[in-house]
Amino acid sequence: MSDIKVEMSADSATVIQNPNAASQPNNPLSRKLNKILETRLDNDKEMLEALKALSVFFTENSLRTRRNLRGDIERRSLAINEEFARIFKEVKEELESVHEDVQAMSTCCEEMTNRLKAAKEQTQDLIVKTNKLQGENHRLEVRAQVAQAFLAKFQLSPEEMATLRGPRDAPITEDFFKALNRVKHIHEDVKILLRTNQQTAGLEIMEQMAVLQETSYEQLYRWAQNECRGLTQETCDISPVLIQAMEALQDRPVLYKYTLDEFGTARRCAVVRGFIDALTRGGPGGTPRPIEMHSHDPMRYVGDMLAWLHQATASEKEHLEALLKQVTLQGVEENMQEVVGHITEGVCRPLKVRIEQVIVAEPGAVLLYKLSNLLKFYHHTISSIIGTSVASLLMTIEEMHILSKKMFFNSLSLHASRLMDKVELPPADLGPTASLTQTLSLLREVLASHDSSVVPLDARQADFAQVLSCILDPLLQLCTVSASNLGTADMATYMVNSLYVMKTTLALFEFTDKRLEMLEFQIEAHLDTLINEQASFVLTRAGLSYIYSCVQQHSAEQGPLSLLPSMDSSSVKTAMVQFDRYLSSPDTLVMPQLNFLLSAAIKEQIFRQSTELVCRAYAEVYSALTSPANGYKDPETLVPRSPQQVQTLLS
């Protein structure tokens, strides 16, 4: 190739060097050379490819090879064509083989198609029958599913049936209640069938479920009854299954009521036995001690019995609440009250006998009153637990309360009648008699126990007036009868002392305002008597009694006062001298009875008000003696002191 290029370069140089040759435009060789020279190999891709292919077998650039180039190219082209023909022949043979196979397959397919057509014609009836059977099978499957769903909704499983129809002594478990609830739901759901055209099936299922329900409830009732009969121990453990049983039995009110009655009977036996044991045997190991050991102490004896019953009643109420906590019936609270009343009814007889023995033994008015308050308190407390007053226990406690209260007032009445049967004379110091002091001490104890009572306020206030009437009214009558033979001053002093002692006794307690007011009025009445007596005593001892009496009784028709007997100037002057001695030491003229008064305040009040009466009496005497109409000469010498001066001296 390089030789060709060299040769071409030499030729080009020859052409260039020969300018004459270029001037011959019609020379063919020249045109070819020019064309070759003008050709740009970089842009002629076909030429480049041809040269590249030529370089594969044109390895030697010589004259001989250049001359044989065409032949070589033709031979190479022939060889390539022969190779192509050979290869294409193989392809043709393969295609013919494939064609033969395709022809064979086509023939086979035609045969199979013909056979299938023949088979289809022969099995057409079978296919129709098969399709029909498949459709029928699908419908049967749907019906089977519907039947299964129907049975699942309206029938019990074998396990549930076995649970509900177990042996009579079989225990009740959680599965029983699940099966029973399932029966209830089926019985409710089957009503849907009665609204469709499946009424016969609905009625049969409803009847079957109703029978199954009744037998199940009967079995559940028998089991619950046996469980309740076993609850006779002091500690009562309510099992969760029994609670569920009561919840289920509420759908059968009769069985529910019978079960509650059975529970109440069992617990009644337990409470009675526990109460008797507490009375006679005490607690476990002897602690606490038997209640009967304290029968010598009525308050503790009765209090311990009532406290035990209060605790037992509260415990039984809690047991019932635990048993019926899942019951949603109306009137559950009334049922509990009724059952608790039935449970505690058994202890009424032994309780009543023992309390009656204590009350009838007449332990004294104070103890009877304390027992009455104690019974009233426990009646109020236990009624808040039971919630009804018709329970036998509450009726028994109320009877004992009424009995103790009656015995208490009988004791007070007997005490009062004894006082009136033998009236005690007032002592020499005109103070309260021993019987009065003793009775007031009794009243003080009664009122003290009344104040410390835990009975509600309204009940305490209602009893208070009756207690005071039973004691104070006989005492007042006793004092009046006892003082009937005394003088005026002695009677007034004795009555003031007695009333004062009563007043100071009542003043320490509540609900006594009305009685204190009444006693205050009576004391004031007797104080007026003592004030008048003290004033008369002073006027008599001071010499003004006669003069004051004459002044009060004198009238203008009688003439001058100085003309009356013992009313002359000398007599009046003598009396005034005596009155002056009183003014110099007024404390010396005091009635002896006033020294017996128990209250210094009352004594001071009497002295002050009697002094005022003396001053008013002196003022009247002074006015009469200084009046010109009474005919006294130099009245200033008779009565040198004015009423104001006298009042100043005595104040």
d(CA 536, CA 516): 30
The answer to whether residue 10 scores a pLDDT higher than 80 is no
> Which pLDDT belongs to residue 8?
40
Q: How confident is the model at residue 270 (pLDDT cuts 50, 70, 90)?
A: very high
- Looking at every residue in the chain, the average pLDDT score rounds to 83
Residue with tokens 């309510």: 238
Contact 313, 340 (CB under 8 A): yes
Q: How confident is the model at residue 306 (pLDDT cuts 50, 70, 90)?
A: very high
> Which pLDDT belongs to residue 303?
93
- How far from chain centre, in Å, is Cα 264? 26
Angle at 222 between CA 221 and CA 226, to 5 degrees: 115
* Average pLDDT score over residue span 455-470: 73
* Average pLDDT score over residue span 625-639: 76
The answer to whether residue 7 scores a pLDDT higher than 50 is no
Structure tokens at 143: 């019906």
- The predicted model scores a pTM of 0.65
What Å distances lie between residue 310 and 27, 271, 305, 454, 539, CA to CA?
Answer: 155, 12, 9, 15, 72
Residue 379: name the closest of 412, 401, 408, 404 by CA: 401
Among the ranges given (293-302, 446-455, 486-495, 621-630), the one the predictor scored with the smallest mean pLDDT: 446-455
Structure tokens at 80: 């390539």
Structure tokens at 600: 């210094």
Structure tokens at 486: 């005394």
> Which pLDDT belongs to residue 200?
66
Q: How many CA atoms lie within 13 A of 356 on its CB side?
A: 8
> Which pLDDT belongs to residue 420?
82
**Predicted confidence (pLDDT) per residue in 532-581, tens digit:** 988 888 888 888 888 888 888 877 777 777 777 777 778 888 888 888 88
The answer to whether residue 624 scores a pLDDT higher than 70 is yes
Q: Angle between the 199-229 and 240-249 helix axes, to the nearest 10 degrees?
A: 130
d(CA 417, CA 422): 9
> Which pLDDT belongs to residue 454?
60
**Predicted confidence (pLDDT) per residue in 20-41, tens digit:** 444 445 688 888 888 777 777 6
The answer to whether residue 183 scores a pLDDT higher than 90 is no
The b-or-e profile of 347-366 (16+ CB within 10 A means b, else e) is bbeebbebbeebbeeebebb
> Which pLDDT belongs to residue 87?
93
Residue with tokens 């033709």: 74
d(CA 620, CA 632): 15
Among the ranges given (297-311, 345-359, 500-514), the one the predictor scored with the smallest mean pLDDT: 500-514
d(CA 336, CA 125): 80
3-state secondary structure of 295: coil
Residue 404, burial from CB neighbour count under 10 angstroms (0-12, 13-18, 19+):
buried
Q: What is the DSSP string of 338-400?
A: HHHHHHHGGGHHHHHHHHHHHHHT---HHHHHHHHHHHHHHHHHHHHHH--TTSHHHHHHHHH
**Predicted confidence (pLDDT) per residue in 120-148, tens digit:** 888 888 888 888 999 998 898 888 887 77
The answer to whether residue 16 scores a pLDDT higher than 90 is no
Contact 604, 552 (CB under 8 A): no
> Which pLDDT belongs to residue 645?
83
Q: Which is higher by pLDDT, 64 or 401?
A: 401
* Average pLDDT score over residue span 414-418: 86
> Which pLDDT belongs to residue 20?
44
